[in-house]
Amino acid sequence: MLNMKHVIFLPLTDPACVLVLLATWACTPLKGDIVNLESSNIDDILGNADVAFVNFYADWCRFSQMLHPIFEEASNIIKEEYPDRSKVVFARVDCDQHSDIAQRYRISKYPTLKLFRNGMMMKREYRGQRSVTAIADYIRQQKSDPIRTVESLQELKSIDRSKRTIIGFFESNESDNYRTFAKVANILHDDCVFLAAFGEISKPERFSGDNVIYRPNGESVPDMVYLGSLTNFDLSYAWTQDKCVPLVREITFENGEELTEEGLPFLILFHMKDDNESLEKFQQEVARQLISEKGSINFLHADCDKFRHPLLHIQKTPADCPVIAIDSFRHMYVFSDFKDLSIPGKLKQFVLDLHSGKLHREFHHGPDPTDVSPGQQTQDVESIPPESSFQKLAPSEYRYTILKRDRDEL
């Protein structure tokens, strides 16, 4: 706990005293059960913990200094509830002293809070409130069972088809098959709903033994059966991740920060919330034309009403939706016309033109000479493409110390 004698006599309205307080926090050894990770122990400690919550920090970072006593107090609270270190570990990495670890986990800002399960780093880092209560609640949530037990197969007829669901049918919850299923569910429970049925209840679905199915969102979409080994974690995880994490993801104000931090440009469909037809067409064309570009650009869709401001940036309104655009984190570029989506290769060329720099050149100087029809004049006056709007959702310098990264102009 923070020693209150360091706090109550300081006039916190004085900026100099605030600096003294931060320095006190930074220099006072932590008394909580927080493990200092380094190259010699990190794999062993993280690999043997069901859940490990790790603070990547730098002592000179004022946001790291402010987090130290909060992180310590949260660890003390959780330790009382989960005294077994194999269940929950609070740990920290001094990124100045252990830059190899920081590079290994691609730390780009301080402090960064990441969750590990059985040694595997979760894709979504903690971005919630930096308060004792919020952090403790987050860990409790991570320790809750991500799998809901089905009491009758009749329940499966009324599940929410707006969500992707993984359903396992097992003879016992003590089997190796179920343990692998539970391990996958622990990692991917934010992306899918996980259900399980056991014993006599599951027997009608176990005509050839334990099995796992994927039930996509949408009423008319058929289930898909997992055909790999149920005890092979790598195969099970890869199959489940492919089903639970869609090629085209929805961007919201809640997940915008983590999506921008992936560092890939956005190809975005702006559509009205109930316009599923346009979304389905976009998803189909992305899968058909752009699957090879998956590692170079993020495919997203956004609610036109919620994201009116980015639309205004490209001189559009919700009345113009559906609209397709690219946000490169420097500038925004608009696809010619949503109706052109059905033209073979048109959407792919739009993305390739981003990577080649053609979109940027044409915004500044007009069409490339090779694209100008005979007799048509090229544009001599330099234009200015709309600035990126989604870059504003990136991690804030008022919350983190951002490590500067050079980014190519697009």
Looking at residue 18, its pLDDT comes to 42
What domains appear along the chain, each with residue ranges and CATH number? 4-143 (3.40.30.10), 147-244 (3.40.30.10), 248-402 (3.40.30.10)
Share of the chain above pLDDT 70, in %: 85
Looking at residue 19, its pLDDT comes to 46
Give the model confidence (pLDDT) of 256-272 as tens digits. 999 999 889 999 999 99
Containing 120, the helix (H) or strand (E) segment is: strand 120-121
Collapsing DSSP to helix, strand or coil, 108 comes out as coil
The residue ranges of DSSP E strands in 144-222, in sequence order, are 147-149, 165-170, 193-198, 211-215
Are 257 and 127 contacting, i.e. CB atoms less than 8 angstroms apart?
yes
Number of neighbours of residue 141 by Cβ within 10 angstroms: 10
| CA pair distance 195, 212, nearest whole angstrom | 10
Give the model confidence (pLDDT) of 129-184 as tens digits. 999 999 999 999 999 999 999 999 999 988 888 889 999 999 999 999 999 999 99
Collapsing DSSP to helix, strand or coil, 303 comes out as strand
First CA to last CA distance, the chain = 48
Q: Which residue type occupies 399?
A: R
Collapsing DSSP to helix, strand or coil, 196 comes out as strand
How many secondary structure helices (H) and strands (E) does the chain include? Answer: 13, 17
Give the model confidence (pLDDT) of 90-144 as tens digits. 999 999 999 999 999 999 999 999 999 989 899 889 999 999 999 999 999 999 9
Burial readout 351-360 (b: 16 or more C-beta within 10 A, e: otherwise): bebbeeebbb
Tokens encoding 192 = 């899918």
| CA pair distance 354, 332, nearest whole angstrom | 10
Residue 306 burial by Cβ neighbours in a 10 Å radius (0-12, 13-18, 19+): middle
Task: Give the closest residue to 70 by CA, choosing from 25, 125, 21.
Answer: 25
* pTM higher than the cut 0.85: no
What is the β-pairing status of strands 34-36 and 88-94? parallel
Task: Give the closest residue to 181 by CA, choosing from 147, 204, 155.
Answer: 147
**HSE on the CB side for 334, CA within 13 Å?**
18
What value does the mean pLDDT take over residues 20-44? 69
Which distant-in-sequence residues (6+ apart) come within 8 Å of 46 by Cβ?
Answer: 37, 52, 54, 89, 91, 116, 119
Q: Which residue type occupies 376?
A: Q
Sheet holding 51-57, edge to edge: 34-36, 88-94, 51-57, 112-117, 120-121
Which distant-in-sequence residues (6+ apart) come within 8 Å of 209 by Cβ?
Answer: none
| CA pair distance 362, 371, nearest whole angstrom | 10
Q: With cut-offs at 50, 70 and 90, classify the pLDDT of residue 33.
A: confident
| CA pair distance 42, 54, nearest whole angstrom | 11
Are 146 and 194 contacting, i.e. CB atoms less than 8 angstroms apart?
yes
Task: Give the closest residue to 136 by CA, choosing from 82, 91, 74, 192.
Answer: 74
Helices (H), 82-175: 99-104, 132-143
What value does the mean pLDDT take over residues 188-213? 95
